Amino acid sequence: MTNNGPGPVQPAPDPGPGPARRPRWKFGAIALGVSLAFFVAGAASLPAAFSGGLAPVTAQSRAAAATSTANTAPSAMQAASIAPPALETGAPPDVETTPLVAPVAVQASGPQPAFATTASELLATLPIKGRAPKTGYDRALFGQAWADVDRNGCDTRNDILQRDLTGITFTNSVPCKVQSGTLADPYTATSISFLRGSGTSSRVQIDHVVALSDAWQKGAQQLTTEKRTAFANDPLNLQATDGPTNQKKGDGDAATWLPPNKGFRCEYVARQISLKAADSLWVTQAEHDAMSAILASCADQLAPTNQAPAAPVPAPEVAPAEPAPVAAAPAPAAVPPAPLAPARVVPAPAPAAPAPGVYYANCAAARAAGAAPLFTGQAGYRAGLDRDSDGVACES
pLDDT (tens digit per residue) in 247-282: 999 999 999 999 999 999 999 999 999 999 999 999
- From residue 151, alpha-carbon distances to 103, 132, 154, 156, 160 in Å are 5, 34, 7, 10, 14
Secondary structure of the chain in HEC code, one letter for each residue = CCCCCCCCCCCCCCCCCCCCCCCHHHHHHHHHHHHHHHHHHHHHHHHHHHHHHCHHHCHHHHHHHHHHHHHHHHHHHHHHCCCCCCCCCCCCCCHHHCCCCCCCCCCCCCCCCCCCCEHHHHHCCCCECCCCCCCCCCHHHHCCCCCCCCCCCCCHHHHHHHHHEEEEEECCCCCCCEEEEEEEECCCCEEEEEECCCCCHHHEEEEECCCHHHHHCCCHHHCCHHHHHHHHHCHHHEEEEEHHHHHHHCCCCCCCCCCCCHHHHHHHHHHHHHHHHHCCCCECHHHHHHHHHHHCCCCCCECCCCCCCCCCCCCCCCCCCCCCCCCCCCCCCCCCCCCCCCCCCCCCCCCCCCCCCCCCCCHHHHHHCCCCCEECCCCCCCHHHCCCCCCEECCC
Residue 374 or residue 33, greater confidence: 374
Please classify residue 298 by burial: count the beta carbons closer than 10 Å to its beta carbon, then call 0-12 exposed, 13-18 middle and 19+ buried: middle
User: Does 330 have pLDDT greater than 90?
Assistant: no
Residue 306 or residue 54, greater confidence: 306
Per-residue pLDDT, averaged over 5-23, amounts to 48
User: Does 373 have pLDDT greater than 50?
Assistant: yes
% pLDDT > 90, the chain: 47
Residue 52 or residue 203, greater confidence: 203
Q: What angle do CA 186, 232, 70 make, to 5 degrees?
A: 100
Q: What is the pLDDT of residue 370?
A: 80
Please classify residue 282 by burial: count the beta carbons closer than 10 Å to its beta carbon, then call 0-12 exposed, 13-18 middle and 19+ buried: middle
Q: Are 230 and 107 in contact (CB under 8 A)?
A: yes
pLDDT (tens digit per residue) in 299-318: 999 999 887 777 776 777 77
Q: Are 277 and 111 in contact (CB under 8 A)?
A: no
- Length of the chain as a residue count: 396
pLDDT (tens digit per residue) in 135-191: 999 999 999 999 999 999 999 999 999 999 999 999 999 999 999 999 999 999 999
Q: Of 136-140, 339-343, 350-354, where does mean pLDDT reach its minimum?
A: 350-354
User: Does 5 have pLDDT greater than 80?
Assistant: no
Q: What is the number of alpha carbons within 13 Å of residue 365 lying toward its C-beta? A: 18
Q: What is the pLDDT of residue 338?
A: 62
User: Does 61 have pLDDT greater than 70?
Assistant: no
User: Does 72 have pLDDT greater than 60?
Assistant: no
Residue 340 or residue 230, greater confidence: 230
- From residue 207, alpha-carbon distances to 158, 210, 308, 387 in Å are 13, 8, 27, 21
